[in-house]
Amino acid sequence: MSLTSVFRPDVLAMHAYVVQDAAGYIKLDAMENPFTLSPALQAELGQRLGAVALNRYPGTRINDLHAALRAYAQVPADHGLVLGNGSDELISLLAVACAKPGAVTLAPLPGFVMYEAFTKQVGMRFVGVPLTADFELDGPTMLAAVHEHRPALTYIAYPNNPTANLWDDAVIEQIVNAVGDNVAAGHPGLVVIDEAYTPFASQSYLQRLSKHPHVLLMRTLSKFGLAGVRLGYMMGRKDLIEQVEKVRPPYNISVLNTEAALFALEHADVFAQQAEVIKSERERLQAALANMPGAKAYPSQANMILVRVNDSAAVFAALKARGILIKNVAGLHRLLANCIRLTVGLPAENDALIAALADILREPLNLPSA
């Protein structure tokens, strides 16, 4: 018997998450905010972090972060709030907390890969429902899946990754209500609205949250501008958030994460200005893509654009040869055949991307007739 056979067979069959080496490239692959802190803010943050007691376990300073996030995100006063080491960790904790035998997670596909990954890690069953060909929710099939599988967790990313669109509100409401019907019939389930891209989106679920006790709203500071800090948060009815709180590792948010996040929220205006630039750059990229015969760009409410091309692997390689790193998402799902995902960068980076794509995408797109 080999020693590794101590691990679960499904773990042995997994692949670890690989981060592409981006050194020297224009990095447009991971929906990061391209702006860095100004030298003045860097110095100020350095002072703050230098003064933090690294020798102590995280203490009550986390309460200040809770308060700052409540104010920033306008969390309803009677709602609970739980913090994660990135929203990735919150997805993992929800799975841990809900993994009863036979429990199901439901999510549209293509979607954020972590819903499925963490679901399977805890032995829950994952049910993925394909989006329509133009990446809208397939309402009837989603509703049928809610009735058939009575999911404990239903994830709705608003906007979705990697498609970048905001799904039809009416269909989302139907899904929320269908899960609500399950709850009323004695089959409890939660809907998690994942708003990772709020800074760039025209709409949020926040105003509707109080109407639906079985809906949790998840956010992150990653796309806001702190991907390296790792801070996600989730709000919802107090007694539900309290259960997630029980499986949260006690010190999951380090003293450095806490202080850096507080600092960023004190300077939220700076990040809001950056989001404005990113949104206008997104529209500039869309306009440029619309003029390229070899590209079909999809509507975006995020800091990324999904684009269909003739040969996504070739476009990925050609951009890389020109020093630009993007994501070829074609392998994620059959609906994404020959799709690439472009993260909106700094104006000069987007100039370089547009020039390179205009050069690479001269051939008209031959979309399948099916």
Ligand X SMILES: *Cc1c(COP(=O)(O)O)cnc(C)c1O
Min dist CB 209 to ligand X, Å, is 17
Which of residues 58, 68, 80, 87 is near ligand X by CB under 6 A? 87
Would you say 222 and 73 are in contact if contact means Cβ atoms under 8 Å apart? no
The contact pattern for ligand X, residues 254-293, with x = CB under 6 A and - = no contact, is ----------------------------------------
112 is a contact residue toward ligand X (CB under 6 A): yes
Taking the complex as a whole, how short is the minimal distance between the CB of residue 154 and ligand X, in angstroms?
Answer: 14
182 or 222, CB closer to ligand X?
222
As separate numbers, helices (DSSP H) first and strands (DSSP E) second, the chain gives 13, 13
**Can you list the positions of beta strands (E) in the chain?**
26-27, 79-84, 104-109, 125-130, 153-157, 190-194, 215-220, 232-237, 296-297, 304-308, 324-325, 327-328, 339-343
Which amino acid is residue 256, in one-letter code?
A: L
Q: Which stretch binds ligand X (CB under 6 A): 49-57, 85-93, 144-152, 351-359?
A: 85-93
- Smallest gap, in angstroms, from Cβ of residue 158 to ligand X? 9
Q: Candidates 88, 116, 259, 281: give the one binding ligand X (CB under 6 A).
A: 88
Q: How many CB atoms lie within 10 A of CB 214?
A: 18
Residues in contact with ligand X, shown as a per-residue x/- string from 158 to 197 under the rule CB under 6 A:
---x--------------------------------x-x-
Number of residues that bind ligand X (CB under 6 A): 13
Q: What tokens does 44 get?
A: 């100020």
Residue ranges of alpha helices (H) inside 35-138 are 39-50, 61-73, 87-98, 113-121
201-260: contacts with ligand X (CB under 6 A): 220, 222, 227, 232
Of 214, 217, 104, the closest CA to residue 157 belongs to 217
Residues 6 or more apart whose Cβ sits within 8 Å of residue 152: 98, 100, 103, 104, 105, 124, 188, 189, 190
Contact (Cβ atoms closer than 8 angstroms) between residue 121 and residue 91: no
State yes or no: residue 342 binds ligand X (CB under 6 A): no
Assess 350 for contact with ligand X (CB under 6 A): no
Q: How far is the CB of 196 from ligand X (least distance, A)?
A: 4
Nearest residue (CB) to ligand X, 29 versus 88: 88
Measure the CA angle with vertex 100, ends 96 and 102; round to 5°.
Answer: 125
The site for ligand X (CB under 6 A) is made up of 31, 86-88, 112, 157, 161, 194, 196, 220, 222, 227, 232
